[in-house]
Structure 1
Amino acid sequence: MKTTIKINIWVLIFLSSLIISCKKSFIELAPQDSPSSATFFKTEEQFRQALIAAYNALRGLMNVDFYTAEMRSDNTHYENYAVNRGDGYVHRENIADFLDHPTNSYIANLYYACYTGIARANVVIDHLEGATLDESAKRDIDGQAKFLRAFFYFKLVRYFGDVPLSLHEVTKADDAFLPRTPAAEVYQQIISDATAAIDQLEPPTTFPQNGLASKGAATMLLAEVYMTQHQYPEAETLLRNLTTMGYELLPDYASVFSTSNKNSKESIFEVQYQQGVTDGQQSNFIYRFLPRSTNTAIITGVQTNNVGDGGYNNPTQDMIAAYEPGDKRLDASIGIAEGVYDASMLFTFSANKSVVGYQAPTGKIGIPYIKKMLHPHSSANNTDDNWPIYRYADALLLLAEALNEQGNVQEALTYINQVRVPRTGLDALTATGPDALRELIAHERRVELAFENHRWHDLVRTGKAIEVMTTFGAKLKQQLNYLPTDAFHVVDYRMLYPIPQAERDLNPALTQNPGYTN
């Protein structure tokens, strides 16, 4: 029998993903003297605490987004680990190989992370309506919550197409089990929320920023939405507005990712992490991106075992070859872990080398890793690296693309060269027409934004995913003897991921994307 759900703020903060994922009934989880949603949402501080819970869902998303946005592309692949064929390994490999199924746990985790953030944002938005707060505080909190809701839905609609559109706090079981909403309507809601966020939020006034969403972040989000929909004049207007908000490119590319430059003038929005022993807010990306080893100390400076989670998101040779000779971004983005594998397919590091002109010495091999996420730290799996979502360089390159798609080649070149010339060591680009410049912009976005979860979305957005990934897959199969014969069958339906089967088992109203079976 279905019963009404009694929800309090602590359940929302820690268990809101379960509200989305579980059906039938709930036990009253909180003691009677615990603060409930009826008593908690009274002060500005309480609303901001609930808002931080919505931001926290971004970390859950970033823990899986590089599998679905980078490893799905030609930028990165995975390290072969044939000695363990458990689901945790196979499911991640399947995403890269275009062999994923509705039971893939990492695709499900992405889906749940987005709906966790949406559920928490909905609670804040709903309770603000009747709150007696200072009006400027209400506008700011509501704007941030709507930015987050729009961001999470933008991820969902690009990855899954039609998705359930939940816009209010879940207070009874039936509210949590909605059918899929057409993608066009989801986009309408994203545009509405992002537009409201632009209106209600302020641009950054000081740098480094505080890490919260600003007018700039909302403007960039809506611009990317319009670029995805090929509404170039609308995107152009927003991106021009961004150029007036105080953002600047840092003079040194490597310094953009330094932990001492978090939330800098080049940052429009990034997911916040803070190293610490027990607070749970730290990042550990470098340990995932290095080869599996019983001792990572030569690279990380900390002796530890990364066998369970290492070996993913390795830069491909195709990616390395994409950098032009002399491009300083190559050495800033990719390093080489030199060493040997043992019989258990674990890597023993012997040196940390530059990728530039690298040739492995006799008896050694070099494994590329993402250097952007390598910075000093003292505890294993406890780093201070934020994850960049939007950078000013991204905005300038999107503006160049928007102008080029409208035939404004010369002005487009000025923006792409703003990104390219000052800090790469390369000459300015020239182009004779929109077709040639379109290819140059795609290349520039690939190398400038490498490993920041843009490549797969760019390929899909520009209609190049099937062509590029089919060619890449054929090349990779010649290089790697462990790839399944049916890998890289890149077809239309795989431009979307499958709706997680666990959700469909709970919610019969959910249909599956075409082409997928269990």
Structure 2
Amino acid sequence: MKINRNKYLLIATAVVFTMVSCSEDFLNVDKSGSVSVDDYYKTPADAYAALVSAYDPIRKNSGGFENYITMLNAGSDDHYAGGGSATDGAGIQGFSKYTLDANIMPGSFWSVPYQGVFNANILLVKLPGIPMDEATKSRYTAELKGLRAYYYFDLVRMFGNVPLILTPLTTSEVYTVVQATPSEVYTRIEKDLTEAIPNLPNTITAAESGRLSKGAATALLGKVLLYEKKYAEAATQLALVNGPTPGTTSPYGYKLLTKFSDLWVVSNKFNSESILEISHTSEGNSDWGFWGSGRDEGNSVNVMVGPRGYSRTTGSPAPDLPSGWSFNPITVDLYNLIKMDPRFNSTVLDMKALQAANEADYIAGYQDTGYFLNKFTPTQADVTTGTGAQPLNYKQNTYVIRLADTYLMEAEALGGTGARAQALLDAVRARVALPSVPVSQVAIMNERRLELAGEGHRWYDLVRTGKAASVLASRGFVAGKNEIFPIPFGELKNTKLVQNPNY
């Protein structure tokens, strides 16, 4: 969400902390330096600040050490965990090797999306009483329902049986909630998105970049329906996003970029291919003292996936890069698949080749293959000069959903057959000058793997299509267990929550 966060962030965070910790009536005790919730939600500015707080947890996609992209990549067949050692991040290492349990499962994967749910729930309750114009109130309500659906979609995919909380809870109620079934959660996600879409704007102004639009919510609904295997309904929603003629501008203004490489130009934010995008900035001055707490606004994937100890030979044509932490090294399997593909250079930083040519060097990290994720590897030009910790303040945005993704999802929902599915697949391939191949589910999934490599989609694709157990068997994946994460141990204590099967 491209907004003036700094103006509102501290007050919103303070209020949200009080809201989540207290009953529906909240605290009536006046605390020095804090904002009484009874005195809050009085003005449109209060509502806007609270809306900002509902958007903030969405940055977990690529913010903080425990971000979705590097975690989900690590569990797929395209990447290893990597990093500095076998103990560098117990959660990511455990997920990559399928030894993850409740004790090392990062708690933030549960708490952060629920923070988003709680923030949305509270403002939904308070919004009717705030004096503001009805059109703005209607839009805020739609955004909050869309965000709540987004957070629950993450939760149900990661954990399966999760509590379905739709109103603010008292402190005692937090310990007595029970889990809903995935079907109940999906039903609510559909309801929230269906109610939100009519009241969201068709387009978003530059000043509002990052907020939900009608197209973004429709794309999310199409994706949700695809995961539910409601293929005809998914295809209908995704067709609205993609438009009648694949490769041309859709009714919502989406269009594939002419050059695949332009997707990864740091300054090319909110481009025509972007449907749902996570904002990052180098102006938040993120520092080690609160990294990953939700207050930091930098892209953490950037520093995590770069080669460790990088240096280049004087006069070398090698890229000018800062050092990274060597997470998510690319597997030889993916390298062999993509090495002759036009998307190779944008996707893979081939340090093995640069080292062999004496153009650059690096320090091999854990599970090193010599191949790094170039989509998110920053250059020296991206290094911030702000007052925060430099590695934590990269400004590259990340895509949650982009048009090539929705093209391929619609083609899949159509059963991988027919002229429409063929045209959708062809459009993705034509953008990178690849010839048409006969459309099929196999061809579509192969294209997803190459087009979306390293963006955090591959593991979910394997799980939802039932292929994870065979593809990831050598990693230790166990069918009936590893399709979802264990619920973090801290969430189980003194509650009625039941751990997921076989953990």
TM-score > 0.5 by shorter chain: yes
1:447 aligns with 2:461: no
Cα deviation, 1:315-347, whole Å, max 9, x if unaligned, reads 11111222272x221111111235999xxxxxx
User: What pairs up with 1:367-382 in 2 under 5 angstroms?
Assistant: 367-373=370-376, 374-375=378-379, 376-379=381-384, 380-381=390-391, 382=393
CA distance in 1, matches of 2:82, 2:103: 22
Which residue identity lines up with residue 269 of structure 2 in the other structure? K
Q: Distance in 2 between matches of 1:113 and 1:398?
A: 27
Asked if 1:258 is matched to 2:246, the reply is no
Q: Give the superposition deviation at 1:73.
A: 0.8
CA distance in 1, matches of 2:54, 2:463: 28
Structure-1 residue corresponding to 2:290: none
Q: Is the 8 A contact 2:69 2:301 kept in 1?
A: no
Q: Give unmatched runs, 5+ long, in structure 2.
A: 1-8, 244-250, 287-295, 363-367, 385-389
Distance (whole Å) between structure 2 residues aligned to residue 157 and residue 428 of structure 1? 36
Q: For residues 397 and 31 of structure 1, what CA distance do their matches in structure 2 show?
A: 53
Inter-partner Cα distance in structure 2 for 1:277 and 1:496: 33
- Equivalent residue number for residue 194 of structure 1: 193
Residues 164 and 180, structure 1, Cα contact 8 Å, conserved in 2: yes
Match of 2:297 in 1: 281
Indicate the residue corresponding to 1:311 in structure 2: 326
1:41/1:47 contact within 8 Å kept: yes
Question: In structure 2, how many angstroms separate the alpha carbons of the residues matched to 1:163 and 1:98?
Answer: 21
> Which residue pairs with 1:458 in the alignment?
461
The structure with higher relative contact order (CA 8 Å, sep 6+) is: 2
Is 1:272–2:279 an aligned residue pair?
A: yes
1:500 aligns with 2:488: yes
Aligned to 2:41: 41
Distance 2:206 2:272 in 1: 6
Tell me the SS of whatever aligns to 1:383: coil
Partner residue in 1 for 2:360: 351
Distance 1:119 1:300 in 2: 44
- Match of 1:66, as an amino acid? I
Could you say which residue in structure 1 is the equivalent of 2:400?
A: 389
Distance 1:221 1:168, change over 3 A: same
- Secondary structure of the 1:369 match is strand
Conserved? CA contact 2:16–2:53, under 8 Å: no
Cross-structure match for 1:421: 430
Aligned residue pair count: 454
Secondary structure of residue in 2 paired with 1:259: coil
What is the aligned partner in structure 2 of residue 357 from structure 1? none
SS in 2 for 1:221: helix
Q: Distance in 2 between matches of 1:162 and 1:260?
A: 39
User: Where does 1:44-193 land on structure 2 (aligned, <5 Å)?
Assistant: 44-63=44-63, 64-79=67-82, 81-82=84-85, 85=87, 88-106=88-106, 108-175=107-174, 177-193=176-192
Structure 1 residues 206 and 497: CA distance shift in structure 2, 3 A: same
Q: Which one-letter code corresponds to 2:336 in the other structure? A: A
**How far apart are 1:28 and its partner, in Å?**
8.0
Structure 1 residue 237 displacement after superposition: 1.3
Query: 1:414, CA displacement in angstroms?
Result: 0.4
Letter in 2 for 1:463: G
Offset, 1:496: 1.0
RMSD: 3.1
| Counterpart residue identity of residue 68, structure 2 | D
Deviation by residue 1:144-198 (Cα, 9 ceiling, x = unmatched): 1111111110011011111011111234332464111111111111111111221
Structure 2 distance, partners of 1:51, 1:78, is 35
Partner in structure 2 of residue 356 of structure 1: none
Pair 1:334 & 2:321 matched: no
Residues 80 and 138 (structure 1), Cα distance of their counterparts in 2 relative to 1, 3 Å cut: closer
Residue 469 of structure 1, aligned match among 461, 469, 472: 472
For 2:500, the equivalent position in structure 1 comes to: 513
Give SS of 2:89's match. Answer: helix
Change in CA separation of 1:415 and 1:206 when aligned onto 2, cut-off 3 Å? farther
Are the counterparts in 1 of residues 407 and 428 from structure 2 also a CA contact under 8 Å? yes
2:80 alignment partner AA: H
Closer, same or farther in 2 for the Cα pair 1:39/1:301, shift >3 Å? farther
Amino acid aligned to 1:317: V
How far apart, in 1, do the equivalents of 2:436 and 2:206 lie?
A: 29
Q: Structure 1 residues 29-38 or 135-144, which shifts more? A: 29-38
Contact 2:281–2:298 under 8 Å retained in 1: yes
Where does the alignment leave 5 or more consecutive residues of structure 1 unmatched?
A: 1-8, 342-348, 354-364, 432-436, 474-486
Residue 216 (structure 2) pairs with residue 217 (structure 1): yes
What amino acid maps onto 1:98 in structure 2? Answer: Y
What is the CA deviation profile of residues 257-314 of structure 1, one whole-angstrom value per residue up to 9, with x for unaligned ones? 2122101110001110011262632223221012433x6688885766x5xxx22112
Query: Once the two structures are aligned, what percentage of the paired residues are identical?
Result: 28
Structure 1 residue 232 displacement after superposition: 1.1
How far the C-alpha of 1:80 sits from its partner, in A, is 6.7
Q: Secondary structure of 1:389's match?
A: strand
Opposite residue 328 of structure 1, the aligned amino acid is P
| Cα distance in 2 between the residues matched to 1:52 and 1:442 | 36
Q: After TM superposition, give the deviation of residue 506 of structure 1 in Å.
A: 3.7
- Partner Cα distance (1:97, 1:514) in 2: 18
Q: Structure 2 CA distance, aligned partners of 1:414 and 1:36?
A: 56
Contact 1:163 1:181 in 2 (8 A): yes
CA distance in 1, matches of 2:449, 2:353: 28
Counterpart check, 1:403 vs 2:411: no
> What per-residue deviation string (whole Å, max 9, x for no partner) do you get for residues 2-33 of structure 1?
xxxxxxx968625857976999xx99886167
Alpha-carbon distance, 1:55 to partner = 1.4
Counterparts of 1:352 and 1:44, CA distance in 2:
54
**2:306 maps to which residue?**
290
- In structure 2, distance between residues paired with 1:30 and 1:95: 44
**Which range moved further: 215-224 or 172-181?**
172-181
In structure 2, relative to structure 1, the CA distance for the partners of 1:302 and 1:371 (3 Å cut) is: closer
Distance 1:122 1:467, change over 3 A: same
Q: Is the 8 A contact 1:498 1:512 kept in 2?
A: yes
For the residues of structure 2 that align with 1:490 and 1:222, how far apart are their CA atoms?
30
SS of alignment partner, residue 414 of structure 2: helix
How far apart are 1:397 and its partner, in Å?
A: 0.8
